[in-house]
Structures are given as C-alpha cells and as structure tokens.
C-alpha cells in the first residue's frame, strides 16, 4: 500500500472518530471568564485525543499514536482543524516544546518522569522572554548560581503563555557572563510550585489573560533538572523553538480557511447589516480568500520540502509573516463588515484565538502574531539576510 493511500485511510478513519468525539459545546464551556470550564474542557479533549491515539503523532512510535510520518502528521492537523475541534492551547507547550526538548536533550530520568505525566495532563509553560530580552533572547539576565546540588535562581520572565496554570516551566537562565551573549545560558526545568515562584497574569487589551509574568526570588532548582550541559542552554533552546515549526501553521491556516464562512455569513444576512455590504467589501472577501489559498499552497510546498529533507533557509519565516498579515487583515475586514454591532459584543472564548465570533476581540487578539512565533521584524531580517542575501547595515 502506498503512503498516499495510507494517509487517505488515516483521514477517513480520523473523520469518523472526530464526528463521534469533538465536544459540540466546547465553545460554551470555554466562554468568557469561565476559567474552570476552560480547564475542564481542555483536559477532557486531551484525554480523548490520547485515548484515540491522535494527541502525539510527532512522538516516537513507542508512545500512543506516535511514530507517524510527516505526511500523516499534516493530515491529522488538517482534519482536526476542519472538524472545528478545540485547540490544544493549554497543553501545546507540554506536547511540543517540553516533550521534544526532553526527547532530544533530556536525561532518561527526566523523560521517565515527565512524558507519561504530560499524557495525563501535566501543564508546561516557557520561561524564556524577559522585559529587556524578548526578540533579543540572548540578552537575558535571569541569573542562576549553583550551590551544591541546587541552582538558586533570581530574575523575571514575561509573556509566559498560560503560565498561571502551569505545573512546570522550561526556564532559560544565565550561569556565566564571559564571551558572546549566547554562551553562559543554561536550560533548567522548574517546578512551578517551588518556593519563591510568583506568577502574575497579564490582562490584555482584549480582557483575556493568556500570558503571565514570572517573578523568581531565590528559587531552588535541583541540578538533576539541568537539560544538557551547563552553558549549553542556547543550543537546547533551539530544539525547543523549532519543535513545532510548520505543523502549527498547517493547523492555524486550515482554521482560518474554515472561518471564511463567518465573513460570508455577515454578507448574506438579511436587513440593515446586509444593506451596508458593498461591492468593495465583496472584493475584499474574495481577496482574503485568495490569499489564504495562496498561503495554504505555500505551506503545502514547504511541508513537501521538509518531507524530502530539503527545507529552505527562511521558509518558516516567510510563512509566519504571511500568516500574521493575513490574520490581521481577515479580522479587520470582519470588524468593518460587522459594523457598530461589533463594538457592543462582549463574548469571547478562551483559547479560541480568532474563532470566537467576537470580531473586536479577534481583531485585537490578532496583533499578538506580530510577536508570536518570532517578532515580524526579526523574521524580515532573516528573509532579507538569508534569502535575499542583502548586506547587514551597521549603524555609525
């Protein structure tokens, strides 16, 4: 049997499973500030995916549902998006960043401790960015001093996604200050229940609290929680940051394509709303639809190159930039078409991104993609220098 027929068989199998298992009321469970509903809904969906064998297709084959080919992984992401299933926002860092970091760089003891726990719902967050070290991550200043069998950590982290719910944290700290900025960075696993850890959720313009600040005051982390070698944290972090490359945008772009009906729904409404829709608005909808299809084609070509081991320099940066711009224009158009009604809408759904049916919330939320996945300015520099081979200008 060919790989293509295997993938098509997987799609058919998964569609049947999704039809029986996607919670029809997940948006209602995660609506507004219902934190308990959000947590319960996410835990329930993870348990179903794990039981069905669809939560970890990117894990090795010894794990439930693991060992899938890249083509099969793409198919699973696409079908889950097309079924309008919940996103795994609460467990994304655990299933991708934490798991793949431990598999590639962790010890046997670390893997044995955490990988089974992740499948049972252990929540992870990242402690990378700092107030003055976001895009320039190598400038981080959070300090760790080794004292016997522990590191004592002091500093601050910011923009830790859903850090207020996390059990564990992937933490970058500085253990040395000599040499280039990338040296002297060490990668640790931090128990979020450790004494000295204070978590403060960050209230965004949307009213949501998707991110958190971490304040670390003499936090003791056992040396056994060191990942890799001391001062090799920069290398380990590259594994963490690249672990979900490509597959994330497969799912997000499919979800965006499936959300086009929301724009069409505004156009086809009866009454005053429909009267405001002019030919220019219709042209903009068609333009957005064409751009989404273009992005889907780019992603398909990118994944085909990855499967062939021929990923190009700057590919992921161009896809991320394309997605960020289309998402902002998509939500801005929905906001314009919805008119004053959008100004009065207060509904939103935790963890649903731009799929909340609240156009004002979705539009404001889209701006996080200027930074998420790597700041747009940094991605443009990568494309300019590594793809277009433009010279780096030095400031006088």
Q: Among 103, 117, 111, 112, which residue's Cα sits nearest to residue 67? A: 103
Please give the pLDDT value at position 224: 97
H-state helical runs in 121-232? none
Mean pLDDT, rounded, for 263-288: 72
Please give the pLDDT value at position 351: 58
Please state the domain extents for the chain: 3-88, 124-231, 245-387
> CATH for 124-231?
2.40.110.10
Q: Which of 43-47, 96-100, 247-251, 344-348 has the lowest mean pLDDT?
A: 344-348
Q: What mean pLDDT value characterizes the chain?
A: 86
Please give the pLDDT value at position 56: 93
Q: For the whole model, what pTM was predicted?
A: 0.85
Each residue's pLDDT tens digit, 287-303: 999 999 999 999 888 88
Each residue's pLDDT tens digit, 45-84: 999 999 999 999 989 999 989 999 888 988 998 899 888 8
How is residue 314 written in tokens? Answer: 């700057």
- Integer CA distances (angstroms), 61 to 6, 14, 64, 69, 396, in order: 16, 18, 7, 10, 54
Distance CA 322, CA 327 (A): 9
Active site residues: 244
Helix (H) / strand (E) containing 37: helix 35-52
- Integer CA distances (angstroms), 124 to 55, 57, 90, 114, 162, in order: 16, 19, 8, 10, 9
Residue 332 has pLDDT above 80, yes or no: yes
Inter-axis angle of helices 247-258 and 260-267, to 10 degrees? 20
Mean pLDDT, rounded, for 311-316: 79
pLDDT level of residue 8 (50, 70, 90 thresholds): very high
Please give the pLDDT value at position 300: 86
Please give the pLDDT value at position 270: 45
Q: Which fold has domain 245-387?
A: Butyryl-CoA Dehydrogenase, subunit A; domain 3 (1.20.140)
Please give the pLDDT value at position 275: 54
| Per-residue three-class SS string for 73-97 | HHHHHHHHHHCCCCCCCCCHHHHHH
**Residue 201 CB-density burial (10 A; 0-12 exposed, 13-18 middle, 19+ buried):** middle
Query: Given this chain, do its domains 124-231 and 245-387 carry the same CATH topology?
Result: no
């Amino acid at each position: 049997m060919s790989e293509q027929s295997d993938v098509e068989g997987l799609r058919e199998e998964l569609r049947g499973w999704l039809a029986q298992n996607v919670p029809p009321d997940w948006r209602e469970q995660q609506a507004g500030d219902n934190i308990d509903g959000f947590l319960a809904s996410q835990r329930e969906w993870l348990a179903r995916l794990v039981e069905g064998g669809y939560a970890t297709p990117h894990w090795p084959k010894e794990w439930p549902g693991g060992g899938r080919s890249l083509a099969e992984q793409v198919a699973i992401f696409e079908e889950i998006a097309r079924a309008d299933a919940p996103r795994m926002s609460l467990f994304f860092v655990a299933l991708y960043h934490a798991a793949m970091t431990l598999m590639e760089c962790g010890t046997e003891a670390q893997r044995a401790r955490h990988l089974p726990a992740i499948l049972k719902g252990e929540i992870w967050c990242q402690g990378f960015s700092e107030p003055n070290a976001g895009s320039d991550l190598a400038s981080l200043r959070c300090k760790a001093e080794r004292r016997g069998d522990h590191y004592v950590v002091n500093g601050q982290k910011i923009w830790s996604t859903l850090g207020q719910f996390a059990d564990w944290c992937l933490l970058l700290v500085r253990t040395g200050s000599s040499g280039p900025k990338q040296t002297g960075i060490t990668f640790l696993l931090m128990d979020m229940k450790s004494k000295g850890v204070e978590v403060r959720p960050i209230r965004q313009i949307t009213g949501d609290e998707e991110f958190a600040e971490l304040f670390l005051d003499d936090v003791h982390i056992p040396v056994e929680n060191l990942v890799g070698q001391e001062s090799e944290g920069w290398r380990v972090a590259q594994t963490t940051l690249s672990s979900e490359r490509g597959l994330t945008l497969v799912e997000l772009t499919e979800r965006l394509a499936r959300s086009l009906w929301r724009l069409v729904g505004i156009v086809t409404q009866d009454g005053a709303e429909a009267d405001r829709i002019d030919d220019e608005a219709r042209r903009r909808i068609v333009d957005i639809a064409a751009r989404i299809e273009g992005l889907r084609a780019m992603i398909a070509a990118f994944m085909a190159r990855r499967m062939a081991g021929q990923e190009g320099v700057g590919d992921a940066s161009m896809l991320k930039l394309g997605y960020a711009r289309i998402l902002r224009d998509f939500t801005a158009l929905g906001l314009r078409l919805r008119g004053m009604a959008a100004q009065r809408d207060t509904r939103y759904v935790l963890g649903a991104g731009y799929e909340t049916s609240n156009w004002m919330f979705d539009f404001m939320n889209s701006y996080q993609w200027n930074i998420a996945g790597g700041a747009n300015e940094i991605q443009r520099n990568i494309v300019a220098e590594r793809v277009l081979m433009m010279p780096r200008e030095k400031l006088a």
